[in-house]
Amino acid sequence: MIRWINTDLFRDNLLAELPKELAPSAQWVFRKDYNQRERKLAKQIESFRGGIASLAANGTLTSMSSPMPGSFELDDEGRSQGAPLQEASVSAHAQTGVGATGGLLLRRLVDGLGMDHILELGTNTGMSGAYMLSAERRPHLTTVEGSAELCAVAAHCLGEQSSQFRQMNALFDEAIDTLVSEGARFDAVFVDGQHEEKATIHYAERVRPLLKPGGVLIFDDIYWSRGMLAA
């Protein structure tokens, strides 16, 4: 059976129910109502993709791919070693990461939810981090990436927006252990790497002690696979 939803009514009811600070984020889902500042920022951040080639010495960059569905494994200490680093062309890497639509949604969420300290699992070239750092709230970002080459590229991308970031070139589990031992606390954790059902649940549980009361967990690519959605 097909059910038609009146999206205008749905949007209006949703906006009426949500705290008003979240209205710009919710509105964005229905209509890309860019303001001038957002247009300018998106143009600037997206232009970074074109310059990535000049930052990669031999035309390739390494990254850790997501595990095949069902292949996620933990060692005896309950930690994941991630996928082996794989080389791919700079042009392939220039296309990864959030685009302006997702990036500006993240930016609106930073301001709407009042995020001052954010943890990101999966820096890649720094695109999502740059959008979050560009928020009016001027948050502090801690971002984790297993590929040293990508960390070097991301340093430029993030540095164009703010100096308030910490890069950790580590496995997600190693970084979480370090942050827990430091007593770090975050308003939000953005999980954007190792897209697999068990990995998603694993990291959701592992970062829980790092969240402040009322903190928020955000997952990218939740419709990536049935497993991700199930998680």
Q: Rounded to the nearest whole angstrom, what is the least distance from the CB of residue 62 to ligand SAM in the complex?
A: 8
Pairing relationship of beta strands 186-191 and 211-219 according to DSSP bridges: parallel
Distances (CA, A) of 224 to 24, 29, 55, 118: 26, 18, 29, 23
* Residue 171 touching ligand SAM (CB under 6 A): yes
* Residue 63 touching ligand SAM (CB under 6 A): yes
The residue among 89, 96, 154 whose CA lies nearest residue 126 is 154
Closer residue to ligand SAM in complex, CB, 122/215: 122
Instruction: Indicate the residue type of 226.
Output: R
Q: Under rule CB under 6 A, which residues in 105-134 are in contact with ligand SAM?
A: 122, 124, 127-128
Distances (CA, A) of 49 to 44, 129, 165: 10, 14, 20
Instruction: Indicate the residue type of 6.
Output: N
Q: Which residue in 38, 192, 196, 197 binds ligand SAM (CB under 6 A)?
A: 192
Q: Rounded to the nearest whole angstrom, what is the least distance from the CB of residue 111 to ligand SAM in the complex?
A: 18
Token look-up 């994941």 returns 80
* Residue 142 touching ligand SAM (CB under 6 A): no
* Residue 193 touching ligand SAM (CB under 6 A): yes
Query: Other C-beta atoms within 10 Å of 35: how many?
Result: 10
Q: Under rule CB under 6 A, which residues in 199-228 are in contact with ligand SAM?
A: none
Structure tokens at 46: 């997206």
Query: Other C-beta atoms within 10 Å of 21: how many?
Result: 12
Q: Rounded to the nearest whole angstrom, what is the least distance from the CB of residue 56 to ligand SAM in the complex?
A: 14
Closer residue to ligand SAM in complex, CB, 112/146: 146
Q: Which residue in 24, 41, 52, 82 binds ligand SAM (CB under 6 A)?
A: 82
Pairing relationship of beta strands 140-145 and 211-219 according to DSSP bridges: unpaired
State how far the Cα of 39 lies from the Cα of 119, in Å rounded to an integer.
25
Binding-site residue total for ligand SAM (CB under 6 A)? 21
Residue with the CB atom nearest ligand SAM in the bound state = 97
Q: Which residue in 25, 147, 167, 200 binds ligand SAM (CB under 6 A)?
A: 147
Binding-site ranges for ligand SAM (CB under 6 A): 63-64, 80, 82, 96-98, 122, 124, 127-128, 144-147, 150, 171-172, 192-194
